[in-house]
Amino acid sequence: FANSVQPVIQKLTELQDQMTTQKNSLEKAVSHSDPKAVVAMVRDVGVSFGHALSFVLEGVVSAKEGRQTLEEELIAFHDFHKSRGTYDERDLLPSEEFENLKGYVDYFRDELRCASFDFRLNGGAQFRRLMWEVEVFVRFAEVCEEVKKRDIIQARGVAMQVVGWRDVVVKILNKEAHLKMKARIRYVGERLKFFFK
């Protein structure tokens, strides 16, 4: 009988140790789930994230990874779309004035004299430069169609109310500029998607 009681006592001792460990773990979890402690922890995490985010958004100049000049960035973007066959090179240039990507890059370097053109940037500084580049791209949008007298008369139409010149211009631009701006917005979206990939 004594021999059979010993394993039962050993098993009960193991269960007691296990239950004590589980109890301590649950008490610790309860203390961490105190609403005030949770709010304080979330605030600390938010502050820490906010401090770290400023370094990311400013870009880390000493970092070796992910740094590019504007020229390298545009070449990588164009090569990516060429390899996928998603865009014709003409769609990736803002105007017919630019024969190729080199002309567009030279425009930034020589005519616009982009201050950060030759700097290798990353993070937020690179993002700000990207936003500037797409702004320049969108500003090249123009209605190349010649507006004829017939178009103006048709835009004025026959209405029960007075149609002003502002309404005529809006109608003509809606008809002609809509597709141009759609292509520009698509470019901006693709540039942003490529940046964040």
Q: What is the pLDDT of residues 36-45, one digit of tens each?
A: 877 888 899 9
The separation between CA 111 and the C-alpha centre of its own chain, rounded to angstroms, equals 27
pLDDT of amino acid 20? 94
Cα-based distances in Å from 51 to 45, 46, 60, 89, 126: 10, 9, 14, 41, 19
Q: What is the mean pLDDT of the chain?
A: 83
Q: How many CA atoms lie within 13 A of 68 on its CB side?
A: 16
pLDDT of amino acid 56? 63
pLDDT of amino acid 61? 58
pTM: 0.60
The two three-digit tokens of residue 1, written as one number: 């009988």
Phi and psi dihedrals of 157, rounded to 5? 60, -170
**Angle (nearest 5°) at CA 187 between 96 and 77:** 90
pLDDT of amino acid 70? 92
pLDDT of amino acid 151? 77
CA distance 188 to 31: 49
CA distance 22 to 119: 57
**Angle (nearest 5°) at CA 127 between 122 and 132:** 130
Q: Write out the chain's pLDDT in tens, 197 residues.
A: 677 788 888 889 999 999 999 999 988 887 777 788 778 888 999 888 887 777 666 665 566 777 889 999 999 999 999 898 887 777 888 888 888 999 999 998 999 888 788 888 888 888 888 999 999 999 888 766 677 777 777 777 766 577 777 887 777 777 777 777 888 899 999 999 999 88
Instruction: Note the helical H segments in the chain.
Output: 2-32, 35-58, 70-84, 101-106, 123-139, 149-156, 165-196
Cβ atoms of 119 and 69 within 8 Å: the answer is yes
**Angle (nearest 5°) at CA 190 between 120 and 51:** 50
Q: What is the pLDDT of residues 23-40, one digit of tens each?
A: 999 888 877 777 887 788
